[in-house]
Amino acid sequence: MTGNVSIDDDDDEKYVTVSIRQSAECSGSIDQIEVKSLNVANGGSYDISLPEGTYSVVASTYNKETQVYDDVDIVTNTVTTINIVF
């Protein structure tokens, strides 16, 4: 999974936390498990290697509404792009 991060703000010191989550059964209920997390600077990019599967991407930054991208499919030998804009 790859993408660019942009915060509609002139502050270059701001960053976005990108959390990659996957559903898993635990004690009879379905829970979201964080499999990777990283901080990406405003104007930066990210490239995450993940095994094939379906994920949720949760992006958050200071003083902005959290963004959630559900049902992101990762397929072997395919590039999945999620550009995050606040």
Whether residue 73 is predicted with pLDDT greater than 90 in this model: the reply is yes
Closest listed residue to residue 5, CA positions, set 52, 49, 38, 35: 38
Q: Which tokens belong to 70?
A: 């559900």
> 13 falls in which pLDDT band (50, 70, 90)?
confident
> 58 falls in which pLDDT band (50, 70, 90)?
very high
Q: How many domains does the chain have?
A: 1
Closest listed residue to residue 8, CA positions, set 64, 82, 68, 81: 64
Q: What average pLDDT does the chain have?
A: 94
Its domain, for residue 19, covers: 2-85
CATH of the domain at 57: 2.60.40.1120
pLDDT for the residue numbered 10: 67
